[in-house]
């Protein structure tokens, strides 16, 4: 059991290390361009959502995109209204990682590691070196998943672990587990990735996987709130909107939990269990955006009333 736990920890550390450095490496390649895209194509809510999806897909981190957005709002480059659409889009863009995990490409991680290493070794240009670093980190990410996948294999024969996993089939218990795990490791992608791996190995059921996924959506909000500390009122409102959107989406997901799972089964008919969970992650975030995108003006009005900009407060004081 000790060997299993250590292997899971090693795989998780590799995954988190890769996610963190992958985001930074991609930002070094398209960082300035990403900021330009965000500023240029956020003239309306729909385009803001599309920007959130595209940039999150490129950076492979919704947290990174939302934190960049908060920084831009804090710098008065983006408005609070523009940031709301990006937050919604980031929630959809982050589902790419779960689709990659379900594709079972982790076993090809040595190819990414070798290719990335060779590019770093032979490259003389900064651009090619950064590209090699990105490929290398993708290899580390997939190898981390591969390590965790092999480590959890023996757990399906452990009665205690199997019984504990069954408890996650209760929506509230599963969501609580997902939220706590994400809060600890600070990566919803890692939490959902582990859930997909456990489903693949037959350790976690679809009900448990969906419940854990719902909780992960809440746990990922912590770093967003941290980024708003000592920020401007619009930046704080962006963070609060992110938490509010995720919390309301999760509540709706828990209320409609069983019908949602049945819908996912119908849409994913013939697919493997891990692919079905990845599809559930995508559908949940897409449905959440479709439901709440129409409430943006209402959210904006309420948050502006609760947390008016300092200029508004000063004008009222002068009056």
Question: What is the dihedral sign for C-alpha 208, 210, 214, 219?
Answer: positive
How far is 287 from 209, CA to CA, in rounded Å? Answer: 18
Contact between 131 and 29 under an 8 Å Cβ cutoff? The reply is: yes
- pLDDT, tens only, 23-59: 667 666 655 666 666 667 777 888 888 888 888 887 7
Spans of all domains in the chain: 2-308
Per-residue model confidence as pLDDT tens digits over 80-101: 888 888 899 988 888 887 887 7
Distance CA 217, CA 199 (A): 18
Residue of higher predicted confidence among 227 and 263:
263
Q: What's the distance, Cα to Cα, between the start and end of the chain in Å?
A: 69
What are the pLDDT digits (tens) for 161-200? 667 778 888 999 999 988 888 877 767 777 888 888 888 8
> Which pLDDT score is estimated for 260?
95
Q: What is the pTM of this model?
A: 0.78
What pLDDT score does 252 carry? Answer: 93
Q: What is the pLDDT of residue 33?
A: 63
């Amino acid at each position: 059991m000790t060997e299993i736990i250590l292997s899971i920890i090693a795989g998780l550390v590799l995954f988190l290390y890769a996610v963190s450095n992958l985001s930074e490496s991609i930002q070094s390649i398209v960082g300035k361009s990403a900021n330009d895209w965000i500023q240029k194509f956020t003239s309306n809510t729909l385009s803001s959502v599309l920007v959130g999806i595209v940039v999150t897909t490129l950076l492979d981190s919704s947290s990174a995109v939302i934190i960049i957005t908060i920084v831009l709002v804090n710098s008065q480059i983006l408005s609070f209204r523009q940031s709301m659409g990006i937050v919604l889009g980031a929630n959809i863009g982050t589902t790419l990682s779960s689709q990659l995990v379900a594709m079972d490409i982790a076993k090809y991680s040595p190819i990414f590691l070798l290719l990335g290493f060779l590019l770093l070794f032979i490259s003389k240009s900064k651009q090619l070196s950064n590209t090699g670093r990105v490929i290398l980190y993708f290899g580390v990410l997939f190898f981390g998943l591969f390590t965790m996948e092999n480590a959890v294999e023996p757990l399906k024969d452990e009665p205690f672990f199997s019984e504990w996993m069954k408890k996650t089939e209760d929506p509230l218990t599963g969501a609580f587990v997902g939220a706590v795990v994400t809060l600890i490791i600070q990566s919803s992608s890692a939490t959902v990735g582990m859930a997909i791996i456990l489903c693949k190995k037959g350790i976690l059921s679809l009900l448990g996987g969906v419940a854990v996924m719902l909780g992960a959506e809440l746990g990922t909000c912590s770093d967003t709130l941290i980024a708003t500390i000592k920020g401007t009122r619009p930046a704080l409102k962006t963070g609060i909107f992110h938490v509010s959107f995720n919390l309301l989406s999760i509540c709706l997901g828990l209320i409609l939990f069983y019908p949602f799972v049945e819908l996912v089964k119908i849409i994913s008919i013939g697919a493997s269990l891990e692919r079905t969970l990845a599809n559930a992650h995508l559908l949940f975030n897409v449905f959440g955006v479709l439901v709440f995108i129409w409430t943006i003006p209402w959210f904006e009005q309420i948050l502006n009333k609760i947390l008016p900009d300092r200029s508004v407060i000063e004008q009222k004081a002068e009056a």
